[in-house]
Structure 1
Amino acid sequence: MPHADVFEPWKDPKAEPLIRFRNVTKRFGDFTAIDDLTIDIYEREFFALLGPSGCGKTTIMRMLAGFETPTEGVIELGGRDIANVPPNLRPVNMMFQSYALFPHLSVYDNIAFGLKRSDMPKSEIAGRVEEMLRLTRLEKFAKRKPHMISGGQRQRVALARSLAKAPKLLLLDEPLGALDKKLREETQFELMDIQETTGTTFVIVTHDQEEAMTVASRVAVMDHGKIKQVDTPANIYEAPNSVYVADFIGDVNLIRGTAENLGGGSYRIDVGEDSRAIDVSECDAEIATGTPVTFAIRPEKILVTKEPPEDRANALEGTIIDIGYLGNLSTYHVELPGGQMVKAAMTNSSRISRRAFTWEDKVWLSFRASAGVVLTE
């Protein structure tokens, strides 16, 4: 069976971005919300702006929507500088966390509201509303008022209304924040399906790492008005470019030490007199011997055993201090001789089994030389 074409326009030098930020800075008085931002977002992307509160992600979205203007720099949409284009004349729509539905209007009329005030011929409005109802699977609820449907259904009404005018760009500001965890997870996949069906470019603002990793084609991790890394979710997780990104995305162990360059992308990390050195292979960065570094390794890459395994490059002895049972996996907090705490995660593959390890057990933590990354920032 042939593979589907991989969607990676950012790797194509001939691809023209839909959105271009060029050296954009936004200040509010003495406070710099966005600091010299340059980034491209492509047509049909599902692009996530991810970061803690106050990092600037909502300011980026508000500038795209036309609610804020850059202090410096240029924002282009479809090759056009949009600095002087008012919000109502931009081919952009925004969906807010509150959904902002009209409580006195039916689902049908909520979706039709913007179309009736647009230049769309009246004869085409009903067909477009029906199309949006089918897209969001709301046909059975067309006559109901917002208070008569669930939170997830209200979210879909807001999405249908936002897409009804076929914007080039849809901005989603924490769109799933009001939903409970299980419904939020289900809705993430619905969002992805709708985005793929319509071909609309989505830009989502979220502080939920799992959400960004699930829905996005690329993720921009932000901190204090700057983008720290832009890449696919897999690369952000497996190959972070800094300690900040590694620490912000998921669980990670950060072990500080000094690098010894062995050549060919291999390094030995000296982590102190009380612990064995860590061997690392397949490292893309060129790091000089003697450089202080941080070795980052995810908990699920680490194996916990009673005896040191023979088939792994690295084995560190320690003592189990804490155990967390999470259903699908168990996490072990293991203290190394030098005091460094390392977290390992192992799948609970058997339905019922006696725990192999308990508190205060002496165990070995082992991992392959290619399991982690060496970071200098």
Structure 2
Amino acid sequence: MNTSVFAPWDDPGEKPLIQFRNVTKRFGEFTAIDNLSLDIFEKEFFALLGPSGCGKTTMMRMLAGFETPTEGQIMLAGQDIDPIPPNKRAVNMMFQSYALFPHLSVWENIAFGLRRDSMPKHDLEERVEAMLRLTRLEQFARRKPHQISGGQRQRVALARSLAKAPKLLLLDEPLGALDKKLRQDTQFELMDIQEKTGTTFVIVTHDQEEAMTVASRVAVMDQGQLMQVATPDRIYETPNSVYVADFIGDVNIIRGRARQNGGDGYHIDWAEGQEALTAASDNGFDTGQSCHLAIRPEKVAITAERPSDAANAVQGKVHDIAYLGNLSTYYVELPNGIIIKAQTANTRRISRRSYTWEDPVWLSWTATAGVLLAN
């Protein structure tokens, strides 16, 4: 999704489709959602991302009407949805298991909810055919679920969920049952269908790559709280905490103490006998304040000689190499035992690799490559 064009969250005049207002949800003594407030806008593909037990599924179940908030309000299109039963909400939910009827054909599975709503026959037929076209299932219309692949069953569940034209579609780990290659293909199909229909999608996933691929914005959650809500590029490039930096992608985190170095520059004292590192940060740090420097491995250069003009350069030896086909990650051990990862693109054949185990190497990065974090 082109977030430079589509960014209703940056427009103060835009009214959110969904508003969580100071929502808390308790199960006995356990607080699953802790005083959480969040706005989700129309036509967004919004991802709730976090480890098991962080509260993301509870949020989704409250939107669907299967749970009610202990405190606070959830608004859908300006209306408090708490009193509205699940079947009367303009919300549909697609489950990880797909929950298709095994004895009904693909066509009948998609038509099921429309029949329950007593839609006139002609309109129903038109709607089912439109959903089959949208999900590219026309040729499978007469087959039963067991006669089609997992990826096709996933599309049937999606077509059935969209048939009733909900304002909001909830997707609970929808690609969990698919293998990696099919997952990736299906992610792009989901994005395409979401854009074509203009339906607001909220997806729950613990797969960071999936969230970063499909979503217009991602909410990273932990223990019932929102850690950061932002576009995927902001979450990756400017995480607001060590938790978010560490949860999304691969990262090096170096602990130290900050010393001001004029303007937004800082020196970081981080290891006995090592030169101070330099970093820039818009967030203010007091001299002596403990800090964490988060640097993505692809922003760390690896060379045999010390680069003459690098803002930060440390020497170590290659401890391990992870070969990922298109990339290699070098795990470099510094004299003080800290390991820093550097990633390079494999543009040449592996037999011509420049560095191997135990080689002495220099790692370097710019003053703006890392993000300086307080916690």
TM-score normalized with structure 1 length:
0.97
Q: Distance in 2 between matches of 1:248 and 1:241?
A: 12
* 1:183-262 mapped onto 2 (5 Å cutoff): 183-262=182-261
- Classify the secondary structure of the residue corresponding to 1:320: strand
Selected match of 1:348 from 346, 349, 356: 346
Structure 2 CA distance for partners of 1:72 and 1:280, relative to 1, 3 Å: same
| CA offset digits 1:160-204 (Å, max 9, x no partner) | 000000000000000000000000000000000000000000000
Selected match of 2:365 from 364, 367, 370: 367
Tell me the number of residue pairs that the alignment of Structure 1 and Structure 2 aligns. 374
| CA offset digits 1:62-94 (Å, max 9, x no partner) | 000000000000000000001110000000000
* 1:298-377 mapped onto 2 (5 Å cutoff): 298-377=296-375
Partner of 2:131 in structure 1? 132
Selected match of 1:293 from 288, 291, 298: 291
Q: Distance in 2 between matches of 1:212 and 1:274?
A: 41
Structure 2 CA distance for partners of 1:328 and 1:206, relative to 1, 3 Å: same
CA contact 1:56–1:225 (8 Å) conserved in 2: yes
- Classify the secondary structure of the residue corresponding to 1:263: coil
Partner of 1:66 in structure 2? 65
Deviation at 1:128, TM superposition (A): 0.3
Partner of 1:179 in structure 2? 178
Partner of 1:33 in structure 2? 32
Q: Which amino acid aligns with 1:199?
A: G
Q: Distance in 2 between matches of 1:5 and 1:261?
A: 34
Q: Which amino acid aligns with 1:328?
A: N
Deviation at 1:330, TM superposition (A): 0.8
Q: Distance in 2 between matches of 1:111 and 1:348?
A: 46
| CA offset digits 1:316-351 (Å, max 9, x no partner) | 011111111111111111111222111111110113
Q: Distance in 2 between matches of 1:329 and 1:310?
A: 26
Instruction: Confirm whether residue 266 of structure 1 aligns to residue 265 of structure 2.
Output: yes
Q: Distance in 2 between matches of 1:40 and 1:4?
A: 17
Deviation at 1:236, TM superposition (A): 0.3
Q: Distance in 2 between matches of 1:132 and 1:311?
A: 58
Q: Which amino acid aligns with 1:346?
A: T
Q: Which sections of structure 2, spanning at least 5 residues, go unmatched? A: none
Q: Distance in 2 between matches of 1:232 and 1:119?
A: 40
* 1:121-160 mapped onto 2 (5 Å cutoff): 121-160=120-159
Q: Which amino acid aligns with 2:204?
A: V
| CA offset digits 1:233-283 (Å, max 9, x no partner) | 0000110000000000011000000001123211111112232211113x2
CA contact 1:322–1:334 (8 Å) conserved in 2: yes
Q: Distance in 1 between matches of 2:343 and 2:360?
A: 16
CA contact 1:275–1:336 (8 Å) conserved in 2: no
Deviation at 1:4, TM superposition (A): 9.5
CA contact 1:275–1:337 (8 Å) conserved in 2: no
Aligned-pair Cα RMSD in Å: 1.1
Structure 2 CA distance for partners of 1:8 and 1:353, relative to 1, 3 Å: same
| CA offset digits 1:88-131 (Å, max 9, x no partner) | 00000000000011111111010000001114222200000000
Q: Distance in 2 between matches of 1:10 and 1:264?
A: 31
CA contact 2:3–2:216 (8 Å) conserved in 1: no
Q: Which amino acid aligns with 1:47?
A: F
Deviation at 1:357, TM superposition (A): 0.8
Q: Distance in 1 between matches of 2:363 and 2:212?
A: 28
- Classify the secondary structure of the residue corresponding to 2:261: strand
- Percent identity between matched residues is 71
- Classify the secondary structure of the residue corresponding to 2:368: coil
| CA offset digits 1:275-310 (Å, max 9, x no partner) | 2211113x2111111110000000110011100112
Deviation at 1:352, TM superposition (A): 4.8
Structure 1 window deviating more from structure 2 (350-359 vs 154-163): it is: 350-359
- Classify the secondary structure of the residue corresponding to 2:189: helix
Structure 2 CA distance for partners of 1:215 and 1:27, relative to 1, 3 Å: same
Q: Distance in 2 between matches of 1:178 and 1:150?
A: 11
CA contact 1:91–1:169 (8 Å) conserved in 2: yes
Q: Which sections of structure 1, spanning at least 5 residues, go unmatched? A: none
CA contact 1:62–1:68 (8 Å) conserved in 2: yes
- Classify the secondary structure of the residue corresponding to 1:276: coil
Structure 1 window deviating more from structure 2 (95-104 vs 333-342): it is: 333-342
Q: Distance in 1 between matches of 2:290 and 2:338?
A: 17
